[in-house]
Amino acid sequence: MHRFFVLMAALVLAACGPSGDGDSAAPGTPDDRPIGQPTMVLAFGDSLFAGYNLPRSAAYPEQLELALRAKGLNVRIQNAGVSGNTSADGRQRLSFVLDSMTVKPDVALVELGANDMLRGRSPDQARANLDAILAELKRRDIDAVLFGMRAAPNMGRDYAAKFDAIYPDLAEKYDAELVPFFIEPLIFNRKLVQRDQIHPTADGVKAMVAASIDVVEDAVD
């Protein structure tokens, strides 16, 4: 159990480090079998979306797009993950990102909050920022998928109770799909973590895609 706590805390650190992308190449060309107007998806988060020490094509949004298209869904995902972002950072840049897109997204994947917890910021502040992000998406008629996180054990029970409740509460409030704990596939399988014992490998990203694709599919299908 101790190893679980240590690894969980270490994995949460991945959300605050620099992206360190191995390259900025575009993702591999997905299967072109789906036809018609694609469903546009915005992946809006921190380094768990941006990726760390991996080619851009191996990041979660790019791998998720490939997996969804392999299932026959005509989906295009724009990766707007920024390493180190807190919920406040996301709230501040959301409108700029949306206004800069040439095509309005149909769905937004929201993955923020781990850095707030890591820096010991108030769960109430994180809740308010995520609430504002989801409210703006709703105002623009963009469906949301909320990617949940859990507080590290060293934050204490009271903090964890407040922080962990943010995601299911807001998902219910805004009728958003919920991925309960985004990094859960990595917790018990250290082969899915890079040598630094912090960041997911390319296989780790694929494991996170496999664990979350059904939720995302419900939102985009």
In the chain the domains, ranked by start, together with CATH numbers, are 2-18+36-220 (3.40.50.1110)
Catalytic residue among 57, 87, 106, 199: 199
Above pLDDT 90, what percent of the chain? Answer: 74
pLDDT higher than threshold 60 for residue 20: no
What is the per-residue pLDDT for 196? Answer: 74
| Phi, psi angle pair for 108, to nearest 5° | -120, 130
What the block records as the tokens of 125 is 């502040």
Above pLDDT 70, what percent of the chain? Answer: 83
The model's pTM: 0.85
Catalytic residue among 47, 83, 87, 212: 47
Exposure string for 119-130, b = 16+ CB within 10 A, e = fewer: eebebeebbebb
Q: Strand (E) positions, the chain? A: 39-45, 75-81, 107-111, 143-147, 177-179
199 has catalytic annotation: yes
Calpha distance 202→198 (Å, rounded): 13
pLDDT higher than threshold 70 for residue 22: no
Calpha distance 189→7 (Å, rounded): 10
Average pLDDT over residues 103-125: 96
Catalytic residue among 124, 169, 196, 218: 196
Closest by CA to 132, choosing from 110, 152, 163, is 110
SS3 content of the chain, % helix, strand, coil (to 5): 50, 15, 35
What the block records as the tokens of 108 is 């937004």
Q: How many CB atoms lie within 10 A of CB 218?
A: 10
State which amino acid sits at residue 27.
P
19 has catalytic annotation: no
CA distances from 215 to 25, 178, 180, 211, 218 (A): 27, 7, 10, 9, 5
Reported as a single tens digit per residue, the pLDDT across 166-208 is 999 999 999 999 999 999 998 889 899 888 777 789 999 999 9
What is the per-residue pLDDT for 120? Answer: 95
Reported as a single tens digit per residue, the pLDDT across 120-144 is 999 999 999 999 999 999 999 999 9
83 has catalytic annotation: no
Contacts of 94 (CB under 8 A, 6+ apart): 44, 133, 136, 137
